């Protein structure tokens, strides 16, 4: 039994066919102004309890930091770690994304995976202005990008938090950095009020669908709860996993406290 980290986060969100710029930042704004306009900042940490059905299966953590300059471009760094699993199916994984804040687009994406005794390392170098992505793993390769504003698995989480997400909205995104995953479809389903270990929250519930297999593929019936406020913190994820049943991530501590 194998739970891929790519399955856990190969998601999420998109926009209509518009440029991926930070929507609340004024044109011509400086780097610091752009970062202040975003609903997240360096130092933010989300911590989650992970459950498969009724079984507690470990913990996950998402963090935001200041990244280095990549090819001379200032970046933000996003990390997602997952530790745990179930008997005979343990994982210890880290996913990292380096993003240019404006326009909001990925420049580097790394997966460092240790799943059920199998280790894999994959690093993608993304060149939006040149129109291609390259990698060294699996004998190396190169592909054309489907967009000059590409996003990877993890950066979708954060871009989604800048969107209006009004109930009834349907977004389509052709900007996933591997064309086989396009388009990502996002449906904003409803508002809800839920309790998780971090407390009680009013939430916006969305359903993401990737054109791939996995947790957020067609038929997974995934739902993501964002807080119904400007912060749009990630409160809960639910889905169904083949041969396991329900998978749930519940926010353990509020990142704003």
256 within a domain of the structure (yes/no): no
pLDDT digits (tens, 9 = 90+) for 206-217: 998 867 554 454
Position 169 confidence tier, pLDDT thresholds 50, 70, 90: very high
Percent of the chain at pLDDT > 70 equals 81
Quote the CA–CA distance of 45 and 61 in Å, as a whole number.
Answer: 7
> Does residue 18 register a pLDDT over 60?
no
Q: Which band of pLDDT confidence, cut at 50, 70 and 90, is reported for residue 23?
A: very low
Q: Please name every residue paired with 45 in a beta bridge, in sequence order, or none if there are none.
A: 63
What is the pLDDT, as a whole number, of residue 157?
84
State the total domains in the chain: 1
Instruction: Determine, yes or no, domain membership for 193.
Output: yes
Asked if residues 16 and 156 have their Cβ atoms less than 8 Å apart, the reply is: no
The DSSP bridge partners found for residue 46 are 62
Helix, strand and coil percent figures for the chain, each rounded to 5:
10, 50, 40
- Looking at the domain assignment, is residue 257 inside a domain? no
**Domain residues for 116?**
5-251
- The DSSP element (H or E) to which 187 belongs, if any, is strand 184-196
* Domain-embedded: residue 242: yes
Q: What burial letters (b/e) apply to 84-96, b meaning 16+ CB within 10 Å?
A: bbbeebbbbbbbb
Q: Which residues of 13-26 are buried (b: 16+ CB within 10 A; e: fewer)?
A: bbbeeeebbbeebe
């Amino acid at each position: 039994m194998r739970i891929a980290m790519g399955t856990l986060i190969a998601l999420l969100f998109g926009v209509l066919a518009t440029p991926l710029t930070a929507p609340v930042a004024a044109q011509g704004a400086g780097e610091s102004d752009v970062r202040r306009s975003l609903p997240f900042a360096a130092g933010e940490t989300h911590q989650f309890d992970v459950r498969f059905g009724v079984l507690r299966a470990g913990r996950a953590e998402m963090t935001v930091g200041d990244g280095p300059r990549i090819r001379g471009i200032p970046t933000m760094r996003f990390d997602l770690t997952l530790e745990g699993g179930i008997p005979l199916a343990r994982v210890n994984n880290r996913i990292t994304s380096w993003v240019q804040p404006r326009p909001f687009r990925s420049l580097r994406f790394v997966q460092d995976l240790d799943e059920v005794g199998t280790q894999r390392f994959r690093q993608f170098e993304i060149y939006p202005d040149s129109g291609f992505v390259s990698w060294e793993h699996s004998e190396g390769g190169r592909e054309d990008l489907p967009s000059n504003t590409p996003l990877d698995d993890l950066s979708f989480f954060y871009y989604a938090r800048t969107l209006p997400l009004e109930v009834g909205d349907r977004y389509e995104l052709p900007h996933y950095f591997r064309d086989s995953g396009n388009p990502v479809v996002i449906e904003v389903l409803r508002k809800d009020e839920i309790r998780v270990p971090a407390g009680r929250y009013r939430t916006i519930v969305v359903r993401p669908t990737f054109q791939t297999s996995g947790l957020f593929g067609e038929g997974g019936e995934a739902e993501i709860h964002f807080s119904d406020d400007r912060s749009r913190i990630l409160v809960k994820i639910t889905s169904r996993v083949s041969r396991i049943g329900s998978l749930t991530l519940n926010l353990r501590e509020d990142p704003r406290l």
